[in-house]
Chains A and B, each alone.
Chain A
């Protein structure tokens, strides 16, 4: 086994364990903190895949913004200092079943795809992946349409949030 594979296995184990803790722990803030560990593990996967930009964006967006927002929202609840409240529904086995089934389905679908078992093509010598990503995102024959659509979606979400929170003029 190469050192990279060893690192991958260790990080994968930590990520999976942390992801399990996110759903199993009864304390909301702890769940958010475990989620941060999980997201950090995913960032390490990006580094192992030579995608440093995605790793950093993962940390900026998911840990720096979304997870902190989660913690903030959890802090605004009433029971923030206490450990647990009563469990409101007993459907956790159902959620587990759905998770296992969807994981199995995804693996079954992906195993049909030829890229699943073949090695990734080596990057061309001297190319900056960051520059290539940037050009791909704005060039008309690549991803400019999905990119702009995502921006429209985000703007719509933002306007929605403002509309919901706007004070009604009497």
Chain B
């Protein structure tokens, strides 16, 4: 039983060969077609996730959210799209035109490039390069570049401040992120995305929960959304790096941000939650795609949940958290995991385990290590606990709740 996409691709191949095209040309056309489909799928998905996020946002805040266009307001994004298409482009005076117009394009394409290495099913992957994980890091740095370009070229102080913060934040959080990414690579002994998924007979989150958490937090910081949205910070910087953008150019930043949030969910699902792995995914690849999307949307829900629930941090708190907490933790974890993994590889043949139990025992060993590191970390942090908070002033409630009417008390 093949994946539907494989069947379609094979059908197209025979069709085009039947037209008398050379095999090389057919492969080229199919590759380009595949790239177009993945890109269009990613952008199309954003139409849905914008609605989903607005709806969840509203329901958690006890509002209704979009509810006019279509059932449950599901078509709300389409009128919004038409509205944004018809808006005027405003280029501020003194802006650097080429860079100003290039930035939104780079912002969307940097995110979209990530989709080339995400495996949707055992055989459905854009390109399974042997440096997949490094490719993710490389593409991520292009996103930071687009924000700097936008902030600098706008000829606006607030946009510039947003860009400054973006650089500080993204460069700092890239360090623990890369260190956390090395741990699944170490466990799977490959940098191929599909190889990483195949190695997860037991999900890597059960091996190394700390690494999964560090990756999740740092990739949240890379998206630049609350609680890490200091590059926008509406209450301080107007809209940060995108202050001067309007119409479709603003729309591209908006789409880029939503797509980025979904992409990091897909990456977390792929790297730590087993990607397409699941019951029967090897035999029926379509099941793998379904598992992948279930896991991705589960992570995406958490991403939205965090965005809605947590307040924005201060820039110094944010940088301290990365450099003084996440980076040392990731370094310790990486060293410890490397040593334990080496010992495991040398020792486990002598343990005479049942074949089926090997990944579980392996996961258990690493899990215990993670618990030890967690325990040590909490003990180290204990002296720094905030014992009392400084009271600035006594609360003086101005509005006092009215007494309920007598009839309700009795």
Is the beta-carbon distance between A68 and B141 smaller than 8 angstroms? yes
Q: Are A64 and B131 in contact (CB under 8 A)?
A: no
Asked if B144 lies at the interface with its beta carbon under 8 angstroms from chain A, I say: yes
B269 within 8 A of A: no
Closest residue to B137 on the A side, CB-wise?
Answer: A60
Known: A60-B141, A63-B142, A130-B191. A75 touches B134 (CB 8 A): no
Q: Are B131 and A52 in contact (CB under 8 A)?
A: yes
Residue contact A64 to B163, C-beta cutoff 8 Å: no
* B35 adjacent to chain A (CB < 8 Å): no
- Could you list 8 further interchain pairs (A-B, Cβ under 8 angstroms) beyond the known A33-B149, A63-B138, A63-B145? A53-B131, A59-B138, A60-B134, A60-B141, A68-B167, A71-B148, A71-B152, A129-B130
Pair B164/A64 contact, Cβ less than 8 Å: no
Task: Verify B130–A130 contact, CB threshold 8 A.
Answer: yes
Q: For the complex, give the distance between the alpha carbons of A60 and B171 in Å.
A: 11
Interface residues of A (CB under 8 A from B): 29-30, 33, 36, 52-53, 56-57, 59-60, 63-65, 67-68, 71-72, 75, 80-81, 128-130
**Of the candidates A36, A57, A65, A81, which one forms a contact with B134 in the assembled complex, judged by CB atoms under 8 Å apart?**
A57
Task: Give bound CA distance, A71 to B151, whole Å.
Answer: 12
Contact A128-B138, Cβ < 8 Å, known A68-B167, A68-B171? no
The answer on a CB contact under 8 Å between A128 and B167 is no
Residue of B94, B131, B160, B167 most packed against chain A (CB within 10 A): B131
Please tell me if the beta carbons of A53 and B160 are within 8 angstroms of each other in the complex: no
Given contacts A33-B149, A75-B160, A75-B164, whether A68 and B131 have CB atoms under 8 Å apart is no
Q: Distance in Å from the Cβ of B136 to the closest Cβ of chain A?
A: 9
Whether the pair B130, A64 counts as a contact (CB closer than 8 A) is no
**Residues of the A chain whose Cβ atoms lie less than 8 Å from the Cβ of B131:** 52-53, 56, 130
Distance (Å) between the CB of B375 and the closest chain A CB? 31
B174 within 8 A of A: yes
- Chain A proximity of B22: nearest CB distance (Å): 13
Residues of A contacting B160 in the complex (Cβ-Cβ under 8 angstroms) = 75, 80-81
Partner of A53, one of B130, B140, B148: B130
In the bound assembly, the distance between CA atoms of A64 and B135 in angstroms comes to 12
Can you name the residue of chain B whose Cβ is closest to the Cβ of A67? Answer: B145
Assuming the contacts A60-B137, A130-B131, asked whether A29 and B152 have C-beta atoms less than 8 A apart, the reply is: yes
Contact with A along B109-137 (1 / 0, CB 8 A): 00000000000000000000111001101
* Shortest beta-carbon contacts, A-B, top 7: A64-B141, A59-B138, A56-B134, A60-B138, A56-B131, A56-B138, A53-B131
> Is B246 on the interface with A (CB-CB < 8 A)?
no
Residues on B facing A (Cβ under 8 Å): 94, 96, 99, 129-131, 134-135, 137-142, 144-145, 148-149, 152, 155, 160, 163-164, 167, 171, 174, 191
B99 touches A33 (CB 8 A): yes
Whole-angstrom CA separation of A56 from B178 in the bound complex:
14
Give which listed residue, A29, A75, A128, contacts B130 with CB less than 8 A.
A128
> Once the chains are docked, how many angstroms separate the CA of A95 from the CA of B279?
65
A75 touches B129 (CB 8 A): no
Chain B positions within 8 Å of A71 at CB level: 148, 152, 167
Sample of 22 A–B contacts (CB below 8 Å): A29-B99, A29-B152, A52-B129, A52-B130, A52-B131, A53-B130, A56-B134, A59-B138, A59-B139, A63-B141, A63-B145, A64-B138, A64-B174, A68-B148, A68-B167, A75-B148, A75-B152, A75-B163, A81-B155, A81-B160, A128-B130, A130-B130
Set of chain B residues within 8 Å of A52, measured between Cβ atoms: 129-131
In contact, B145 and A59 (Cβ under 8 angstroms):
no
How far is A113 from B140 in the complex, measured between Cα atoms in Å?
A: 39
Interface contact A72-B129, CB-CB below 8 Å: no
A99 and B34 alpha carbons, distance in the complex (Å): 44
Residues of B near A68 (CB, < 8 A) are 141, 144-145, 148, 167, 171
List chain A residues, Cβ under 8 A from B141.
59-60, 63-65, 68
B171 CB contact (under 8 Å) in A29, A36, A65? A65
Known: A64-B141, A65-B171. A53 touches B134 (CB 8 A): yes
Determine the distance from Cα of A36 to Cα of B167 in the docked complex, in whole angstroms. Answer: 16
Contacts of A80 in B (CB 8 A): 152, 160
Which residue on A lies nearest to B141, using beta carbons?
Answer: A64
Closest A residue to B99 using CB positions: A33
Looking at A64, A129, A130, the one whose CB has the most chain B CB atoms below 10 A away is A64
Residues of B within 8 A of A59 (CB): 138-139, 141-142
Among A53, A64, A129, A130, point to the contact of B137 (Cβ < 8 A).
A64
CA distance A68 to B152 in the complex (A): 12
A80, B154: Cα distance in complex, Å: 12
Q: B174 to chain A: which residues have CB within 8 Å?
A: 64
Chain A residues near B144 (CB-CB < 8 A): 64, 68
Closest CB of chain A to B137's CB: distance in Å? 5
List A contacts of B94 (CB < 8 A). 81
Q: Which of chain A's residues has its CB closest to B133's CB?
A: A56
Min Cβ gap B221→A in Å is: 15
Q: Which residues of B contact A128 (CB under 8 A)?
A: 130
